[in-house]
Amino acid sequence: MQNSDTTEDVKMAIQKNFQKMGEAMAKGDLGLLASYFTEDALLKFSGKEPIQGRVGITKAHQEMLDRGILVKPETTEVQSFGEMAYEIGTYQLVTSKNEKIDSGYYATIWKKVDGNWKIFRDIISSTAS
Amino acid sequence: MQNSDTTEDVKMAIQKNFQKMGEAMAKGDLGLLASYFTEDALLKFSGKEPIQGRVGITKAHQEMLDRGILVKPETTEVQSFGEMAYEIGTYQLVTSKNEKIDSGYYATIWKKVDGNWKIFRDIISSTAS
């Protein structure tokens, strides 16, 4: 195992994580979904109070699942610093019929825990007012 | 000059920058205010399209100045990685009479340019819906 991933390694790890997170949502496996966040992750949606920890993160994703909302993230930039990295990206929230509900930007701080990149901080800024 | 600031150094530099930025706003010196952002900085307010570059950033702060809005940031966490750092914080937008207009969280990526820490990426997530 390398001690220090390159930015390119992290970019690929993030894309793979997003794919796996999408699959976990599609299966309704929210325990798996939550495992892509650190135990103490902070998740801040626009227009909501922040959520900290996997219990709250699971609940928030359950609500999205119940409402049939899918998240489509797209990475704009990544830079890695050993065991941590930041990512800036854009996102869309869509219905199962691919109708756009919301879109905006996010900043994610990724942290490598036991060899796996996990979401540590996720600050989401909607473009819609 | 040190090549690599500690997290504590960067935390102090950020607090000093916030103080200077507040003074620049109070004086209406938006050129000075904009100098605390990198030339290619991305600033994303909640409910708005992103702004990139100092011209747009100056304009956005002119609008806040015209409306008598003050930004009160408060750092929650900082971690530095050589010439870059991330910061998570909370903010309040208040009127000159200290009435709260908005509050929320932000993620800022700071970059050291010619020995000075500047805002490179700023993603702001309002708590108000």
Rounded distance between C-alpha atoms, residue B127 and residue A36, angstroms: 24
Cβ–Cβ gap A105/B129 under 8 Å: no
Identify the band that residue B1 occupies on the pLDDT scale cut at 50, 70 and 90. Answer: very low
What span, in angstroms and rounded, lies between the C-alpha atoms of A102 and A122?
Answer: 17
Summarised one tens digit per residue, pLDDT across range B50-97 is 999 999 999 999 999 999 999 999 999 999 999 999 999 999 999 989
- Selecting from A44, A109, A128 the residue whose C-beta is nearest the C-beta of B125 gives A44
Chain A residues near residue B88 by CB distance under 8 angstroms: 42, 109, 121, 123
Q: Does B111 touch chain A if contact means CB atoms closer than 8 Å?
A: no
Q: pTM (2 decimals)?
A: 0.95
Q: Would you tell me which residues 60-79 of chain A have a C-beta closer than 8 angstroms to some C-beta of chain B?
A: 79
Q: Dihedrals φ, ψ of A13, to 5°? A: -60, -40
Q: Which tens digit of pLDDT belongs to each residue from A96-108?
A: 899 999 999 999 9
ipTM for this prediction = 0.94
Q: Are the beta carbons of A47 and B126 separated by less than 8 Å?
A: yes
- What residues pair up with B72 in beta bridges, in sequence order? B92
Q: Is A46 on the interface with B (CB under 8 A)?
A: yes
* CA distance between the termini of chain B: 45
Give the E-state strand segments of chain A in sequence order.
37-44, 51-52, 69-81, 84-95, 100-113, 116-126
Q: How far is CA B99 from the centre of its chain?
A: 20
Greatest distance between any 2 Cα atoms in chain B:
45
Task: Report d(CA B75, CA B108) in Å as an integer.
Answer: 10
State the average pLDDT over residues A14-34.
Answer: 97
Nearest Cα residue to A32 out of A64, A50, A10, A57: A57
